[in-house]
Amino acid sequence: MTNAIIEILEINPEQAKEALETKFPEQRPLRPLHVKRLASEMSLGLFRLSADAILFIRGRLANGQHRLSAVVESGIASKFLVLRTDDEEIYKITDCGMKRSVGDGLSLSDIKFYNQVPLIANWVLLYESGRITIRGQGGGNARQKLGITRSRCIEYCIANKEILSAAAEFVVPIHRETRLLPLGIAGALYVIGERRGKPEQTKEFLKAVFVSGGENSAGDLRNRLVLNKGARKRPANAYWFGVALRALKSYLNGTRPSVLKWEDGQEIPEI
């Protein structure tokens, strides 16, 4: 009969380091960026206990190397579900299933548009946390400093489900018409404009970008997106997020940039 013990334990950096020294050599290579994301959440107090257990088989670490590495990197103890067993067959099926998306995590909740809401939440979180850098007029160097982890995104979606669902409900139909701007970015603009206290103007802006155009910054953004649609090399989405924010800011302020582009080293605008 297989012996198994499952419990919730707080693991400190020293204990995490000791556990990592016992890990199975066959485990997949460590992903440093994912470790940094998790460590960032731990440092900010945003890391949460999950049902994905830290797994030890005959005293050796078989699952959880990224989370334990993040404990070491952050220097902060965290709570985990820990499973200890002598059944070596479990290792053969660890991480073999289809990876769950944030939408899967929300599918049993009462959140409308649960597949689209995470796309929107991700860009809002990146904007609010300042995790986007853009270098170069062509947008080739646009990137995210650190992505948002699945657990943080789920938590944010649940806490802000009303405004995120409203954003998805508005954006999904107009996005289907032309798909000029990524749905997540368009929805994030809706949320940002709503929080500034200008929901109707933001809706007008998004309709102009996707459908009607016009002699304003929304029309200018639409023209740029149309011209770029058939380009062989397209700027990164982070670049378009910055340009779209600039256009929205101008629209809400009643101004219009002479040229809607990104200057090298320009910071993400605050709306």
Structure confidence at residue 111 (pLDDT): 79
Residue 135 and residue 29 share a domain: no
Residues 204 and 258: beta-carbon distance below 8 Å: no
By C-alpha distance, which of 158, 220, 218 is closest to 193?
218
- With 0-12 CB in 10 A as exposed, 13-18 as middle and 19+ as buried, what is 34? middle
Range of the domain at 127: 102-253
> DSSP label at 100?
P
Residue 141 and residue 241 share a domain: yes
Residue 209 and residue 249 share a domain: yes
Residue 35 and residue 18 share a domain: yes
Residue 128 and residue 37 share a domain: no
Residue 57 and residue 83 share a domain: yes
Domain assignment of residue 237, yes or no: yes
Residue 124 and residue 80 share a domain: no
Residue 147 and residue 81 share a domain: no
Residue 249 and residue 189 share a domain: yes
Question: What's the CA gap between 110 and 106, in Å, rounded?
Answer: 8
Q: What is the amino acid identity at position 159?
A: A
Structure confidence at residue 130 (pLDDT): 76
Q: What is the amino acid identity at position 27?
A: Q
Structure confidence at residue 26 (pLDDT): 66
Residues 126 and 132: beta-carbon distance below 8 Å: yes
Structure confidence at residue 239 (pLDDT): 85
Structure confidence at residue 181 (pLDDT): 95
Structure confidence at residue 2 (pLDDT): 60
CATH of the domain at 16: 3.90.1530
Contacts 24+ apart (CB under 8 A), 224-228: 224/260, 225/180, 225/181, 226/180
Q: pLDDT digit of tens for each residue in the chain (271 aa)? A: 467 889 999 999 999 999 999 998 767 788 888 899 899 889 988 888 887 899 999 899 989 999 999 999 999 999 999 999 988 766 555 554 445 566 655 655 677 888 899 999 999 998 988 767 655 544 444 445 556 777 788 888 989 999 999 999 999 999 999 999 999 999 999 999 999 999 999 999 999 999 999 999 999 999 999 988 877 777 788 889 989 999 999 999 999 877 676 666 667 778 8
78-85 and 54-57 beta bridge pairing: parallel
Burial 229-240 (b: 16+ CB within 10 A, else e): eeeeeebbbbbb
- pTM greater than 0.85 (yes/no): no
* Domain count for the chain: 2
Residues 246 and 260: beta-carbon distance below 8 Å: yes
Residue 172 and residue 145 share a domain: yes
